[in-house]
């Protein structure tokens, strides 16, 4: 796993792994500070699934399989955006704080990267 973090060529792999680590820490914070297990479990599942699907895509059996796994990663990133929105709007996370702002920024970057990868991959398949 440590070599993924240092893989400058595979930006999506590195960023999705870093994001998953932040989500695990957020999950721990939500459980210890707010005791909201169901919401924190939801964001844990979707936020870590992004990187898991990116990792699976690295060993895809075909271009179609690669596109499918990256599409799932994109879907999970969108779901994670929803959970972050819900947590801020319900005031479990404070809006406009450095931690939440960078979490949202990192997620937006992941969404842009994944959208680009999926669009390019779909064009290749046609």
- How many domains does the chain fold into? 1
Q: Across residues 22-45, what is the average pLDDT?
A: 95
* pLDDT above 60: residue 1: no
- Whether this prediction's pTM lies above 0.85 is answered by yes
Q: Which range marks the domain in which residue 83 is found?
A: 2-125
pLDDT of residue 4: 53
Tell me phi and psi for residue 54, to 5 degrees: -65, -40
Rounded Cα distance between 1 and 101, Å, is 27
pLDDT of residue 115: 98
CATH number at residue 96: 1.20.1440.60
Give 70-111 as a 3 state SS string: HHHHHHHHHHHHHHHHHHHHCCCCCCCCHHHHHHHHHHHHHH
């Amino acid at each position: 796993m440590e070599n993924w973090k240092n893989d400058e060529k595979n930006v999506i792999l590195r960023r999705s792994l870093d994001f998953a680590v932040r989500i695990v820490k957020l999950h721990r914070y939500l459980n210890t500070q707010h005791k909201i297990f169901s919401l924190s479990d939801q964001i844990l599942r979707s936020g870590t699934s992004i990187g898991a699907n990116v990792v699976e895509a690295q060993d895809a059996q075909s271009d179609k399989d690669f596109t499918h796994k990256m599409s799932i990663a994109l879907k999970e990133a969108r779901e994670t955006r929803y959970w972050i929105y819900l947590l801020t709007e319900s005031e479990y996370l404070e809006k406009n704080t450095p931690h939440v702002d960078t979490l949202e920024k990192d997620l937006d970057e992941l969404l842009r990267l994944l959208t680009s990868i999926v669009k390019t991959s779909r064009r290749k398949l046609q």
